[in-house]
Amino acid sequence: MGHDLKVAAIQMVSGQSINDNLDIAGKLVAQSAHLGAQVAVLPEFFIRIANAADGELSKIVEPLGSGTIQEQLSEIARKNKIFLVAGTIPIKSDKDKKCYNTALVYNSNGELVCHYHKIHLFKFDNGEHKFDEGVNFIHGDKFSSFTIGNFKFGLAICYDLRFPELFRHLAGVDGFILPAAFLHHTGVAHWEILLRARAIENQCYVLASGQGGVHDNGRHTYGHSMLINPWGEVESVLESGAGIVMGTIKKSVLDKIRQELPALNNRRI
């Protein structure tokens, strides 16, 4: 893979049909591979966007490493000869009726090489509206990173973006990969600025793959999947709708920025 890595952030507007979502995801991954991507990232909840209390989530929870959904994701990666970061799917935990919100990483042979259970779960109640991911999910407690050739990546998911200490723990990676389903009203205010901040303060690339549109359950997600370079510049972005954001991660850019502004070396712990 050398010193350049071509990447793709896939944006979706997932509905409640698992089969339809998998079909769309598979086609967009294949399109990414055709365009030369060596890595493709699916958004959070790419498998299904639904209301927290609809009761259907429990029917698609799988043990880590086995199950119909994971078998299909493995095949998508293998068939397209691409590294696949599969947004998130529900993975079984040891707590009754609760699961992990998990990103899975498959190599180009379709082998599961890494997983990350989302650490920070979104919860709010302003009296008029409330939302609690803890209804269905249990938080993870481990950081995750993986390598592709000469590149090392850290994983985070959506709400994790608001907690810079997670990213700082993994400082030194070449990039962060962040599947998300950011709500529209918070996305307008904070999405891009937080992504750029994580790139600037850690002097690395950030590849963010989001849900982007109005879903069939009425939820409105912000989209704006993007690739940001270590100087904090947005190199490519897709504002809304299903599609692909392409870009290239370059070792030469990482090295140049870290040499000219050695902030990571200058920090005191």
User: What local confidence, expressed as pLDDT, does residue 140 receive?
Assistant: 97
Q: Write down the pLDDT at residue 54.
A: 62
What pLDDT shows up at residue 49? 85
The dihedrals phi and psi of 234, each to the nearest 5 degrees, come to -80, 115
Residues catalogued as catalytic: 44, 118, 158
Instruction: Report the pLDDT value the prediction gives residue 57, as an integer from 0 to 100.
Output: 80
Q: Where are the domains of the chain?
A: 4-266
Which pLDDT score, from 0 to 100, does residue 110 have?
98
pLDDT, tens digit, 9 for 90 and up, residues 201-255: 999 999 999 999 999 888 999 999 999 999 999 999 999 999 999 999 999 999 9
Given a contact cutoff of 8 angstroms between Cβ atoms, the answer to whether 189 and 222 are in contact is: no
In this prediction the pTM is: 0.96
pLDDT, averaged across the chain? 95
Per residue in 186-201, pLDDT (tens digit) is 999 999 999 999 999 9
CATH 3.60.110.10 applies to domain 4-266: yes
Mean pLDDT by 10-residue block, N- to C-terminus, for the chain (269 residues)? 92 95 98 98 93 73 96 98 97 90 98 98 83 90 96 98 98 98 96 98 98 93 98 98 98 97 91
